[in-house]
Chain A
Amino acid sequence: MISEPKITPELIAEHGLKPDEYERILTLIGREPSFTELGIFSAMWNEHCSYKSSRLHLKGLPTKALWVIQGPGENAGVIDIGDGEAAVFKMESHNHPSYIEPYQGAGTGVGGILRDVFTMGARPIAALNALRFGDPAHPRTRHLVAGVVAGIGGYGNSFGVPTVGGQVGFHTRYDGNCLVNAMAVGLADADKIFYAAATGVGLPVVYLGSKTGRDGIHGATMASAEFGEGAEEKRPTVQVGDPFAEKLLLEACLEIMGAGCVVAIQDMGAAGLTCSAVEMGAKGDLGIELDLDAVPCREEGMSAYEMMLSESQERMLMVIAPGKEEQAEAIFRKWGLDFAIVGHTTDDLRFVVKHKGEVKADLPIKELGDQAPLYDRPWVETPKQQRIDPASLEITGTLPGALERLMGSPNFASKRWIWEQYDHLILNNTVQRPGGDAAVIRVADGPKALALTCDVTPRYCEADPFEGGKQAVAEAWRNITAVGGKPLALTDNLNFGNPEKPEIMGQLVCCLRGIGEAARTLDFPVVSGNVSLYNETHGRGILPTPTIGGVGLLPDVEKMATLAFKANGETILAVGETSGWLGQSAFLAEVFDREDGAPPPVDLELEKRNGDFVRALIEDGLVTAVHDVSDGGLLVAVAEMAMAAGIGATLVSPPAEMSPFAYWFGEDQARYVLTVNGGSKGAVIKRAEAAGIALSKLGTTGGDKIALPGERAIVLEALRERNEAWLPIYMGAGMM
């Protein structure tokens, strides 16, 4: 028998448990925990699994709507999309593993979120991701971009899901801590959703999928700590992905679900066997007894502790319906996967783990989750910044010069080099490909389609967490609207620094309040999400980055809008008020290296009014192109529409009282750019007047240049080349 280490204060600290948390364990079980039990507590009570710092504040989020079938708390959120169909989706971070080992870290992030979706009985139909890297000049950035992108592609392409959209940004505050947020969307019959809660006593608990190895032990604990020196030494805690096994697991799971074999199912994600077994039991008010002798292992001599904490990938735990064991086993064997009965449900609400005839753990199952520490951490509000008066800025240079600079900068440069490494066409339903406002995926043979997007503007969140949180939601809502979709629900991935610092905790609290307020006003509830804290290196936190993944519905995909200009001689219109808001704008950041001032305020009622107006225009076929206005303001929006089409534009002069830079590059919210042809122009203007919507003419499409009054013309082809060039050149410079 292997002797287990003694429980010492050092060992407790190595498990990421604070002294008062250990006291809590002693009170709960009335004795010293065994080594295996200590491992189980550390897995269940770390930040990643217990949400101990955020739980209190997540309660304020709106999670309900008529179309919400399942809100937060399950593997993924579920919404009704009509015709008996449901969309199942969630976003999750894999930040620390991706920094340590970018290929496997990002790949297993994709694998984990796909598993969350098909665990609920849904076939994944699309994947998205939001990536944040450090300064391009930082020596590690290129390596991370190459590895993360290859890892996401390597997993998703092999698994067979189209990776259709997302966001990529660079900022020095992510130098030591990149962000990899992966989102997956699946499709299921609304009445055939599978859940984690076990029912029935004495039923077999079955282990399915790949074998258990020693990889990923304490992965979730690692993900819940700050990085210091030697982060790279944590590489052994990163799991290794096997997309082939995951594809087989998908097919086998959907097949046995279809055959009526499954009572409850939970994937083995963070904290593996521990977390999945406890959730199934606790949610179903049942105990679980596991016999680890039956667990399929990849390596010999694995201890109970190692098996309980392994994060080996592509594994599932299920409770099988009585009498269905043989049928379920036959299906798994057909797909070449392991199938083992590793335990059973009990009625004593205990979580019992046996190994080689010994009881290695015997803990109260509900309390493992329910009694996890809950912190109301002290927090302070981020000091408000002054609004920047455009007249106070000494702006030199020209509008064309500033536009060219922006379009060639890392954050605005085309991300084609990235998304061409993702199979974005598989499954034959990608109607709107990467590069638009939202990806559009046809549902089955149509006419319905889903609009999908990932959004957040971290520098707004840093300057004003409340307004930044609102803006992230509004931006996702707007992107779905801009393709003609009705926004239905969102998933959030909250990436922040160390919550034990009051100013960081304040960012989390206020961003959540902003997200909650926007989600409520826009009727865009939160149905799933993930919290990633301790994104700090050497004591410096990342920019607060609450990524919002939005899902919307297009009843008829034929009516979808795209952002490319469609013809010469069409009128370009702006919907929404332009005040020339330059605080925290991309223009100031990229051209003047200034990140200051108050970010643009978000008027949610106005967002709703303007968005509903635009969506109705799209539905009624009155507009030819639509683009939401975000980073970079009106001129960037127009340039993107022009470049996508190869059709130029002649633009008007801004109002006399306004600085042209503020007008063209300001980032006022609730705005869209659209084009109308002669036939519908009058109708659109009339509608706007009747509805009290601000509508202004920006210019006319045509030619091969963007012409601004009194400025040199911007040759579209040259602008496009500049926009396409940055990323391949940057990545090429570091390769053979």
Chain B
Amino acid sequence: MKAAVILFPGSNREGDVAHAIRQITGVEPAVVWHADTELPAGTDLVVLPGGFSYGDYLRCGAIAARAAIMDAVRAHAARGGLVLGVCNGFQILCESGLLPGVLVRNARLRFICREALLKVERNDTPFTSRYARGAVVRFPVAHGEGNYAADADTLKRLEGEGRVVFRYVMPDGRRDDTQVLNGAANSIAGIVSEKLNVLGLMPHPENQVDPLLGSTDGRALFESMVDALERV
């Protein structure tokens, strides 16, 4: 798998995701500067990493969505190439129009770093094939603005098309929109594009690939992508 991690000023989890990709695929991903206009030839996967691009001083992800490299990322997505946006990367995907909706401040207005339980809503995507459908996995969240919001029509369409891939759940596996840690609409933690090739999620699978650091629940997400690319 040839991966390219986009580096914006203020990105700070690029090393974490590169570490996970290296550990799982054995291949070091390319790091691509935001001001570049092209992806390395043969790029299979584009990763928009977590962080605080441009300090998140404006609406988070809004400036990064307009970076020079984003045209190449949009073209890659239009060709059906895989795009993974984690945390700030998810925010950038929403701001760049690759995914619908927006991430706003957490309902309790505080940054939250803790392990979250997520239900894998479908396993027929390039990102989740290695999970059992309905499985509950544990990924950490680390965000101040992870509260997914969209208008009623968009939510209805997302749900109707089955595009919610990860959803926050309670310890008993049940969804409870009134208890969700950041206030996200419909307990949404991650969604895919219509063609299923663009995934944005707030929690960090890249921080959960090493047994020494808690669990390895995140590995299957990266392994799923490797599988999907091998099938092509």
Contact = CB atoms under 8 A, between A and B. Distances in A.
Interface in A141-183: 150, 153-154, 157-160
Contacts of B12: 158-160, 247, 426
Contacts of A446: 212
A442 B56 CA distance: 29
B142 to A, nearest CB: 4
A158 B10 contact: yes
A158 B16 CA distance: 15
A157 B145 CA distance: 12
A428 B207 contact: yes
Contact of B9 (A150, A153, A335, A442): A335
Interface string A244-270: 110110000000000000000000000
Contact of B112 (A150, A160, A421): A421
Interface centre among B55, B113, B207 (most CB of A within 10 A): B113
Contact of A158 (B19, B55, B140, B204): B55
B114 interface: yes
Contacts of A423: 111, 113, 142
Interface string B110-140: 1111100000000000000000000000001
Contacts of B142: 157, 423, 425-426
Contact of B212 (A245, A425, A442): A442
Contact of A421 (B110, B207, B210, B212): B110
B124 to A, nearest CB: 29
A247 B12 CA distance: 8
B152 interface: no
A596 interface: no
B219 interface: no
A248 B57 CA distance: 15
A32 interface: no
Contacts of A160: 12-13, 51-52
Interface string A542-582: 00000000000000011000000000000000000000000
Contacts of A243: 52, 55
B140 A425 contact: yes
B111 to A, nearest CB: 5
B52 A557 contact: no
Given A153-B111, A335-B9, A428 B55 contact: no
A428 B113 contact: no
A183 B210 CA distance: 27
A154 B111 CA distance: 8
Contacts of A157: 52, 111, 113, 142, 144
Interface in B49-63: 50-52, 54-57
A67 to B, nearest CB: 25
Given A150-B110, A421-B110, A428 B210 contact: yes
A421 B114 CA distance: 9
Interface string B5-16: 000011011011
Contact of A428 (B9, B16, B144): B16
A427 interface: yes
A244 B9 contact: yes
Nearest to B20: A428
B41 interface: no
A67 B166 CA distance: 48
A157 B146 CA distance: 14
Contacts of A422: 111, 113
A558 B212 contact: yes
A158 B56 contact: yes
A428 B9 CA distance: 20
A425 B113 contact: yes
B210 A420 contact: no
Contacts of B13: 160, 426
Interface of B: 9-10, 12-13, 15-16, 19-20, 50-52, 54-57, 110-114, 140, 142, 144, 204, 206-207, 210, 212-213
Given A160-B52, A247-B9, A423-B111, 20 more contacts: A150-B111, A157-B52, A157-B142, A158-B10, A242-B55, A244-B10, A248-B10, A419-B113, A420-B112, A421-B112, A422-B111, A423-B113, A423-B142, A426-B13, A427-B16, A428-B15, A428-B16, A429-B213, A557-B212, A558-B212
14 contacts: A244-B52, A244-B54, A244-B55, A247-B12, A248-B10, A421-B110, A421-B111, A421-B112, A425-B204, A426-B50, A428-B15, A428-B213, A446-B212, A557-B212
Nearest 3 Cβ contacts at the A-B interface = A160-B12, A244-B55, A158-B52
Interface of A: 150, 153-154, 157-160, 242-245, 247-248, 335-336, 419-431, 442, 446, 557-558
